[in-house]
Amino acid sequence: MTKVSMTVNGKSVSGEVEGRTLLSAFLREGLGLTGTHVGCDTSQCGACVVHVDGKPVKSCTVFAADVAGASVKTIEGMANPDGSLGVIQQAFQDHHGLQCGFCTPGMVMSAAALLAENPKPSEHDVRHYLDGNICRCTGYHNIVKAVLAASGQSVPAE
């Protein structure tokens, strides 16, 4: 076991990990941040996406020890400081961008990464960027609407 330290949602954290401890396991089991979901554990579904130094990564496909010292942001870090939903989260609620909610943490984190890179994406840009995030429920239309709405653009009527 070795000790790793990193910043998670603005707070310094540390914990004991094995070489093989995945970032997803460190977040969920080590820190109790169970908002990050593990859907496939095979790098395919994107439910586990978090930001490492501002970039989206699949936390099931990164070793915790390899991102020691990094700044990590998870879905728990997306709410406003007063606890109300952040802009993207609120848009997912307003536009019915989730059903079971399993994919939602990854969707929101990928959407946040997209909007940081490209603040006014087209519908095509949104669909293309969310290529690695799989949703078994919604059929994606409302997710795309939610992301467009979160970017401040008007969305097609229901």
Q: Provide the 8-state DSSP code for 58.
A: E
Out of ligand FES, ligand FAD, another protein, none, what residue 100 binds, judged by CB under 5 to 8 A for its kind, is ligand FES
Determine the residue type at 91. Answer: A
In 3D space, the residue among 130, 136, 106 whose CA is nearest the CA of residue 145 turns out to be: 130
Strands 71-73 and 2-8: parallel
Residue of the chain from 45, 62, 91, 150 that contacts ligand FES (CB under 6 A): 45
Give contact residues for another protein (rule: CB under 8 A).
2, 18-20, 22, 41-43, 46, 49, 52, 55-58, 61-63, 65-66, 110, 113-114, 129, 131-133
Question: Considering only residues 40-69, where is the footprint of ligand FAD by CB under 6 A?
Answer: 43-44
Question: Least separation, in Å, of the C-beta of 40 and ligand FAD?
Answer: 10
143 in Cβ contact with 130 (< 8 Å): yes
Q: Which is nearer to another protein, 94 or 123 (CB)?
A: 123
Measured from the CB of residue 22, what is the shortest distance to ligand FAD in angstroms?
A: 14
The residue among 58 and 115 lying less far from ligand FES, judged by its C-beta, is 58
Residues 6 or more apart whose CB falls under 8 angstroms from that of 43 comprise: 58, 60, 61
- Burial class from Cβ neighbours inside 10 Å (0-12, 13-18, 19+) for residue 96 reads middle
Residue from 87, 99, 141, 153 that binds ligand FES (CB under 6 A)?
Answer: 99
Give the nearest distance from C-beta 149 to another protein in angstroms: 20
Give 82-87's long-range contacts (Cβ < 8 A, gap of 24+): 87/150
Binding of residue 62 to ligand FES (CB under 6 A) = no
Question: In degrees to the nearest 10, what's the CA dihedral of 103, 92, 107, 131?
Answer: 110
66 touches, from another protein, ligand FAD, ligand FES, none (C-beta below 5 to 8 Å by class):
another protein
